[in-house]
Amino acid sequence: MNPDFLAWIILFLPLVAAGLITLYFLPQRKVSAGLSTGAVIIGFVLSVIFVSWAGWQPAIRESAATWLAVGPLHVAFGLRFDPLSLLMILVVTGVASAIHVYSWGYMHEDPGFSRFFACLSLFTFSMLGIVLANNFIELFIFWELVGVSSYLLISFWHERPSAADAGKKAFLANRLGDFGFLLGILIVWSSLGSLNFGVLQDRLSAHAGALGSLATIAGLLIFCGAMGKSAQFPLHVWLPDAMEGPTPVSALIHAATMVAAGVYMLCRVSFLLDASALEVIGWVGGFTALLSAVIAVQQDDIKRILAYSTLSQLGYMMMAVGLGGDSQAMFHLSTHAFFKALLFLGSGSVILALHHEQNIWKMGGLRRQMPVTFWTFLAATFALSGVPPFSGFYSKDSIFAQATARHSYGLLVLGLAVAVLTAFYMFRLVFVVFLGSSRSPACDHAQESPPVVLWPLRLLAVFSIIGGYIGIEQVYEKQFGAAGAGHPLWQQLLAPFREAPIGAVLGILAAVLGFAGAYKLYSNVAKDPLPDKLGALSRAMANRFYFDELYQATVIRLHDALASIADWIDRWIIDGFCVGLARGGTDLTGRALRLLQTGNLQTYAFLFALGAALVLYLVLGK
Amino acid sequence: MNVGLGHYLVVSALLFALGLFGVIARRNLLVIYMSLELMLNAANLALVAFSRFTNNLDGQILVFFVITVAAAEVSVGLALIVALYRKRRSAHVEDLTAMKL
Amino acid sequence: MQDILFYIFAYLALQFGFLVVANPFSRNPVTSAMFLVLTIASLAGLFVLLHAFFLAAVQVLVYAGAVMVLFLFVIMLLDLRAEERERLRTFEVVAGLISAGAILFIFLATLVHSPPGIQQSPTAEGGTIALGRLLFSHYLLPFEIVSVLLLVAMVGVVLLSKKNLK
Amino acid sequence: MNIALLSHEWLVLLLGLGLLLADLWLPPAARRKLGYVAALGVAAILLYSILFVRLPAGGVEYAFGRMYILDSLALFFKRFFLLAALAVLLMSVEFAAEIQSGLTEYYALTLFALAGMLFACSANDFTLLFVSLELITISFYILTSFQRARTLSLEAGVKYLIIGALSTSFTVFGIALVYGTSGKLNFQDLAAVAPQLIGNKLFLFGLLWVMVGLGFKIAAFPFQIWAPDVYQGAPSPTTAFLAIGSKAAGFALVLRVLFTAVPAITAQWSHLLIVISAVTILYGNLCALPQRNVKRLLGYSSIAHAGYMLLGVAALSAAGQSAILYYLSGYLFTVLAAFTVICLVMRHAEGEDISRLAGLNQRSPLLAAAMALAMVSLAGVPPMAGFFGKFLLFKAALAQGATQHGYYWLVGIAILGVVISLYYYFGVIRAIYWPGNAPDPSPIPVSRPILLSIYACVAGMFFLGLYPNPVVTLTSKAASALQAETAAIHATATLPKAPRAAWTRSLLGPASAAPSRP
């Protein structure tokens, strides 16, 4: 049997599960969950088997069936196997498996249990489709399917108006980007005459300037699609609202799948992007990273902090793409998938324990009641902040190294600033939620989550720790050329210091700086007994206090102000004004135009005759 | 000046314009309907004139069809107006604005 | 002689047509209907001048005879005394003048720009035999369709004007 | 002359007459079921058409002296109309309670309108065009005003009647001018002389007014003004048939006239077509935005969809024409699904406000899903049919962009229209799934035939969106017929008179001399 067959099974298993659940098993909760989870776990196992058979060969292979032939346009429904897609199916099925298992515990009480799993399976199917697609049309269709299924998931609790609105907002923002994307696809098709990625790459490498003057526009239009899906400025408004969905959905959307799709797609078609398009992409990414990191500092809702953190990390990935570092972007995407899924599932565990409390100032001291959640969350925090030897350090460092190599010092500084902020807000979160003493009675009675929730956390924690040096980057480098030779594990552990010492050291410094800031501010804010004991201490402590206040007065004030401004811009200018103006404008035009429709027959006859005269004039008047 | 095709066309166009004016300016449905008949007659005149001057009887056949169709249309239209009058006690156009915007 | 007759019939048709749509003395639909009969009769005269004898007869029989009688029946049936007070409104008159004028202007300009350039001596005779032959040979299909159309109209009229709904 | 050539039309007419006759003997209680008989009959004709009707080797056959044409385009449309009528008839049976009198006549008139459409798509001559258009239009006048007890229905009927008659007079005047300047009524004969008439403004004048009449049928700007009122007031099955059948018949004739009769002139009208298409799209979508009545909303949306399809006309290419046919196929399933749901949900309600859809999800999950999918497809979201149709249309227009940049603008505006339309389509979906308290929480019974019809529509939407290849092959073959036949005729001989004489003789018998036509 042709092993390619396995890949088709991997792709369609979740769809079959979703179909079976909707058609037959909606009342049987256990069966639906079992089907859905089984499909994705089997998918993961099959992916491992398939990958071990296919190997990480850079050779590009496809498995295709003719799907559409319109004149010169020949579109096949095909799967593309190269290191990029193979690794991604591992990541997607892996992370999705963990989330499915976790959902079994998390959603247990929900009446829409079966429906939830059906949507989850549909979502997994669409995401796998994006990863495996071998041409633009197929990609676009799965791309839209992801949009639809995310709409279903975000507005899963559709009886809440806020959830329904969030779903609609996500869908519309995505569609706005997608139309640019579709236009870009059409331009590429009309100038290069094919939609297959392999063929496109060949044609472009044969004639570098084949796209001509349209190259930049096409690149930017394609980036529009990524902007919507990966929530880049100014289309980022939907992502924080998308927190209205159940927590496993947030984890799925934020970690390996939906938002990653934009970055993945750009890497998939990076050969289409020319220098000026890349420049724009890089700076949009950098700006998004900074903006959302600043906003994250001001948030009190645990899931919102993580949402803005996702935005900011996506900004990193976009920045890497803009710097021409596709393998670095994908590397960060992969490690981010693990630790961000972990963070979300950890926060879900906390929220569950506190009976759906999401405000971090009503938490505290959860370290004792929830040790597993705490330690895994901490591991993810270290990874996100870029502390060696956690995975995030390696991937983030590779981006800094790329910036240094490209002499893009502007973006490097931006990236470092974001790194400082990242460490700051993440440790603030850890200090407030897990350390210190409890701030509400719920915290005292909190209990560790059931094992079905904890095992996914443990599994993801392992990957968040070791993800940086198990060869992920090497796989991507095989895809994008410049493959380094495989190194033993211990050498990879130290690789950043050997290959790009400046970036590595600066990265660690940034993390330390952020940590120090958070420690100074937030270990005091908590009602720890520690400050009381040390309160008797003399000048040194007073000085320290004074320093803290200074810090508070200047840096944090400024910080606060900046954050509020950014938040304000986000809320009013982008979300309110621009979107509002566009909506209001069209609405008004609609109402004005409708006045023509007076309902009076004579007016109708008049307009009809006038129209006939107009048409005559347009043609004969010349 | 000899009367030619052009003359007939001008008369036909004038009649057409008169009918159009009536459709737009009058408010009684019956009169509007008569104006529409006027427009159709204008078109018929043009067809007959063309038929005569191009030595081709197809135009006259077409007029035959137009007259038949117009008769059918008139009967349906008048029945409709009667039905509406029974319901609303009015054959005025302004009373027909339940649906708008 | 024929030219003079053309001018007479054309003038009559236009004059009566004007009285149909914009009679300055009466807004009564009956008056409009009567003038429409006269317009149609004048047009029949023009048809005769164009040697369309059969159509001239049909015009008088079907249009002036049948269709207009139908109109008059309906007017009597509806008892539209209130309609007599209908006034023309400025807006509607202006709207009508603008659109009808625009279309007329464009048509005349077109006619001047490209006059129909057929100047051979007209010979077509619209006799009953010639038309009948054509109608039942080449134009048999539309003829049959029109018969269906008349059936449709009949069914529709019966349904729409039936007194009781059950 | 092959009698079997017109078999679709004959059979449909016979079915309609049979229904009218059956009505005389049947007890009133059984009349409702006659709708199923009609539907069954249409299904049988459709089956017959698919199984037994084959085109000859040349791909085209003529009748009545090339007045009637049967080619792949006509056959495509005939099956299309039969399918549409089938669903509409099933819908009518559900709607029967709302029609006080003349139920059988309602079915029969639907069939006669269908016959008109079948003739229209085979029209190869202005006479047949006029007569078949009138058959459709007059049937629709009656069908629109069928609910005599409802003032709205009568008002819609009168509005449709007056504007329709206005458009008829324009069309007839247009035909007169075309005929007078060219001396031809046959499309292919016209194609031979049209290139010499490019400069003749009187000819262009006539042609434009013929297009005014067709523009009225498809509800293109600036002749769209009647559509919302009529869609709103007409009985729901009529609205569905109007949205699908009447519009498609209009497009069939637009394609025949523009691309068979006067391709040389159409080629010069790209500007006009681009402007009309763009304005139609914007008008329909913008006006639909603040709309609360679902049927009226679909009326405006149908204007917008006419605009999208005009994009394919404006593209002036076989790809564009094929895309129109594809789009129509998707539109068929989508609109039928939407109207079937509206018909079932709103049949007892006056005023089809969107809020009436609230709680539909609880009342009937199947109807809710069908309606939501239809809206998604109308909005052009993959993987539904609407997406692929739009994709093909945009692609066809962009392919012409190199020659004229207006096409880029047109596609840009069309995409803008799509984005605007999302708001109101999702408003409908939102209303369906909005929890709130439903005005009438009782579950909606769905009969078996309607169930079948809805399943078929949903399957069609998915099929056209997911596996377009078979239909694309079909539509591109049908579209290629438009010009190929003209070319074939003018290549073989100068034969405008030959077939006519032969057929006349065969009818009148050898004894009668063929009349010498002056």
SS (H, E, C) D325-385: HHHHHHHHHHHHHHHHHHHHHHCCCCCCEHHHHCCHHHHCHHHHHHHHHHHHHHHCCCCCH
- Best of D17, D103, D127, D153 to disrupt the C interface (most C CBs within 10 Å) is D127
The type of residue at D150 is: R
Q: What is the pLDDT of residue A488?
A: 59
Which of B42, B76, B99 is opposite residue D141, by nearest beta carbon? B76
CB contact under 8 A, A620 and D201: yes
- With contact defined as beta carbons under 8 Å apart, do D188 and D177 qualify? no
For chain A, which ranges sit under pLDDT 50? 1, 527-552, 555
Minimum distance, in Å, between the CA of residue B18 and any CA atom of chain D: 13
pLDDT for the residue D327: 95
* Structural domain includes residue D518: no
Provide the residue type at D94 as one letter. E
Alpha helix ranges (H) inside A469-551: 472-479, 489-499, 501-525, 529-534, 539-551
ipTM for the assembly = 0.89
Containing structural domain, residue C76 = 1-82
Chain D residues closer than 8 Å to B54 by CB: 180, 183
Give A609's contacts in chain B (Cβ within 8 Å). Answer: 20, 23-24
Distance from CA of A589 to the nearest CA of C (A): 24
**Cβ-Cβ contacts under 8 Å, C96 against chain A:** 606
Print the domain residue range for D151. 3-507
pLDDT of amino acid D162: 93
Is the CB of residue D286 less than 8 Å from the CB of residue D221? no
| Sign of the dihedral through C-alpha D55, D56, D61, D64 | negative
- DSSP codes, chain C: -HHHHHHHHHHHHHHHHHHHHH-SS---HHHHHHHHHHHHHHHHHHHHHTT-HHHHHHIIIIIIIIIHHHHHHHHHHHT-GGGGG----HHHHHHHHHHHHHHHHHHHHHHHHS-----SPP-----HHHHHHHHTTTTHHHHHHHHHHHHHHHHHHHHHH-SS--
Helix and strand counts by DSSP (H, E) for chain B: 3, 0
Q: How close does chain C come to A62, measured CA to CA in Å? A: 57
pTM of the predicted model as reported, rounded to 2 decimal places? 0.76
Task: Show Cβ contacts of residue A117 under 8 Å, excluding neighbours closer than 6 positions.
Answer: A17, A21, A32, A33, A35, A36, A37, A100, A103
Do the beta carbons of residue A271 and residue A399 sit within 8 Å?
Answer: no
Q: Does B96 touch chain C (CB under 8 A)?
A: no
Q: Do C160 and D148 touch (CB under 8 A)?
A: yes
Closest C-alpha among D162, C155, D397, D30 to residue B93: D162
C78 & C141 share domain: no
**Could you tell me the two tokens for A481?**
């050329």
- The chains found to touch C (3+ Cβ pairs under 8 angstroms) are A, B, D
Residues B21-26 have a mean pLDDT of 90
- Return the higher-pLDDT residue of D261 and A243: D261
Residue A26 has what DSSP assignment?
A: S
The Cα D279–Cα D299 span in angstroms is 16
Task: Look at residue A570 in the predicted model and tell me its pLDDT.
Answer: 55
Per the CB < 8 A criterion, the answer to whether A620 and D201 are in contact is yes
* Helices (H), ranges, D145-186: 151-182
Spatial distance between the Cα atoms of A226 and A262, rounded to a whole number of angstroms: 4
H or E element, residue A79: strand A73-81
| CA neighbours closer than 13 Å in the CB half-sphere of residue D191 | 24
Structure tokens belonging to residue A526: 């908590």
Q: Which residues of C touch B8 (CB under 8 A)?
A: 46, 50
Query: Is B47 near chain D, with CB under 8 Å?
Result: yes
The answer to whether A375 touches A360, Cβ cutoff 8 Å, is no
Strand partners, A65: A77
Angle (deg, nearest 10), helices D365-379 and D448-466: 30
Q: Please report which confidence band the pLDDT of residue C114 belongs to, taking 50, 70 and 90 as the band edges.
A: confident
Is A594 near chain D, with CB under 8 Å?
Answer: yes
Q: How far apart are CA B70 and CA B35, in angstroms?
A: 13
Looking at residue D219, its pLDDT comes to 93
Q: Do D135 and C152 touch (CB under 8 A)?
A: yes
Interchain CB contact of B31 with D (< 8 Å): no
pLDDT at A210: 67
Burial D44-82 (b: 16+ CB within 10 A, else e): ebbeebeeebeeeeebbbbbbbbbbbbbbbbbbbbbbbb
- Torsion, Cα of C132, C138, C143, C148 (10° steps): 150
Tell which of A596, A603, A608, A616 to mutate to test the C interface (max C CBs under 10 Å). A616
pLDDT in tens, D25-59: 888 778 888 889 999 999 999 999 999 888 887 77
D229 contact B CB<8A: yes
Closest by CA to A300, choosing from A261, A346, A357, A341, is A357
CB pair distance less than 8 Å for D472 and A615: no
Among residues A34, A53, A64, which one has the least CA distance to residue A197?
A: A64
Assigned token pair, B16: 């057409």
CA–CA distance, A523 with A540 (Å, rounded to integer): 18
Phi/psi for D516 (5° steps) reads -80, 115
> What CATH fold (topology level) applies to the domain B5-96?
Helix Hairpins (1.10.287)
CA distances from C102 to A593, A616, A618, C18, D110 (A): 23, 10, 13, 18, 39
pLDDT digits (tens, 9 = 90+) for D103-145: 899 999 999 999 999 999 999 999 999 999 999 999 999 999 9
Does the beta-carbon distance from A620 to C103 stay under 8 Å? Answer: no
Q: Could you tell me which chains touch chain B, where touching means 3 or more CB pairs under 8 A? A: A, C, D
Q: Give the residue from D30, D42, D100 showing the smallest Cα distance to D22.
A: D30
- pLDDT value at residue A545: 35
Do D468 and A158 lie within an 8 Å CB cutoff? no
Q: How far apart (Å, rounded) are the C-alpha atoms in residues A587 and A589?
A: 5
Q: Do A606 and C99 touch (CB under 8 A)?
A: yes
C78 touches chain D (CB under 8 A): no
Q: Flag the least confident range among A516-520, C145-149, D455-459.
A: A516-520
DSSP for A291-343 reads HHHHHHHT--BHHHHHHHHHHHHHHHHHHHHHTT-HHHHHHHHHHHHHHHHHH
**Interface mutation target, options A600, A610, A616, chain B, most CBs of B under 10 Å:** A600
Place of tokens 């400082």: A420
- Contact between chains at A620 and C110 (C-beta distance less than 8 A): yes
Judgement on whether residues C4 and C78 belong to the same structural domain of the protein: yes
Q: Which long-range contacts (CB under 8 A, 24 or more apart) does A480-485 make?
A: A480/A267, A480/A270, A480/A326, A480/A327, A482/A327, A483/A58
Q: Point out the least confidently predicted range of A353-357, D131-135, D273-277, D371-375.
A: A353-357
Q: How big is the A-C interface in CB pairs under 8 Å?
A: 26
pLDDT of residue A223: 87
Q: Does B92 touch chain D (CB under 8 A)?
A: no
CA-based nearest residue to A333, from A341, A343, A324, A344: A341
pLDDT at D84: 95
CB C111 within 8 A of CB D34: no
Q: How far is D61 from chain A (nearest CA, A)?
A: 26
Same domain, C13 and C74: yes
CB-nearest partner of D131 from C125, C137, C146: C146
Please enumerate in sequence order all residues whose Cβ is within 8 A of that of A608, keeping only pairs 6 or more positions apart, or say none.
D163, D166, D167, D216, D222, D223, D225
Contact A594, D287 (CB under 8 A): yes
In a domain, C108, yes or no: no
Check which CATH number belongs to the domain holding C71 and give it.
1.20.120.1200
Provide the 10 A C-beta neighbour count for residue A541: 13
pLDDT band at D13 (very low <50, low <70, confident <90, very high): very high
- The domains of chain B are located at 5-96
Q: What does the pLDDT look like over C53-100, one tens digit per residue?
A: 899 999 998 888 888 888 888 888 877 665 556 666 788 888 889 999
Q: Give the gap in angstroms from C-alpha C141 to the nearest C-alpha of chain B.
A: 12
Q: Which of C18, C50, C82 is the last residue of a domain?
A: C82
Q: Do B43 and D517 touch (CB under 8 A)?
A: no
Name chain D contacts of B88, Cβ cutoff 8 Å: 151, 154
CA nearest to D157 within chain A: A601
Chain A: which residues have CB within 8 Å of chain B?
Answer: 594-595, 597-602, 605-606, 609
Closest CB to A600: pick one of B25, B32, B97: B97
Q: In Å, how far are D163, D225, D257 from A604, measured between CA atoms? A: 8, 6, 26
Task: Please give the tally of structural domains in chain D.
Answer: 1
To the nearest whole Å, the CA of D508 is away from the closest chain C CA by 8
Our CA-based measurement puts residue C134 at a distance from the nearest CA of chain D, in whole angstroms, of 8
Cβ neighbours of C133 in D, within 8 Å: 515
Please tell me the distance from the alpha carbon of residue C69 to that of residue C66, in angstroms, as a whole number.
Answer: 5
* DSSP classification of residue A436: S
Structural domain contains residue C57: yes
- A609–chain C nearest CA distance, Å: 6
Whether B19 and C80 lie within 8 Å, measured CB to CB = no
Mean pLDDT taken over chain D: 86
Residue among B27, B98, B100 whose CB faces A602 most closely: B27
Distance from CA of A622 to the nearest CA of D (A): 11
Whether residue D124 contacts residue D187, with contact meaning beta carbons closer than 8 Å, is answered with: yes
> Which of C4, C21, C112 to probe the B interface (max B CBs under 10 A)?
C21
Q: In this structure, what token pair is assigned to residue C65?
A: 């005879």
Per-residue CA distances from B6 to A25, C112, D197, D202 (Å):
78, 9, 18, 12
Residue A136 has which token pair? 């633009």
- Contact between B47 and D232 using a beta-carbon 8 Å cutoff: no
Whether pLDDT at D455 is above 50: yes
How many domains would you assign to chain C?
A: 2
Tokens 């069936």 locate to A65
Amino acid identity, residue B87? K
CB contact under 8 A, D158 and B84: yes
- State how far the Cα of D419 lies from the Cα of D414, in Å rounded to an integer: 9
Give the separation between CA D39 and CA D456, rounded to whole angstroms.
15
List the one residue out of D187, D33, D50 whose CA is nearest residue D120: D187
CA distances from A356 to A310, A347, A448 (A): 21, 10, 14
CA–CA gap between residue D259 and residue D211 (Å, rounded): 13
Q: Return d(Cα D426, Cα A174) in angstroms, integer.
A: 14
Give the least confident one: A88-102, D350-364, D440-454.
D350-364
Comparing CA positions, the residue from A343, A275, A282 lying closest to residue A315 is A282
Do D134 and B100 lie within an 8 Å CB cutoff? no
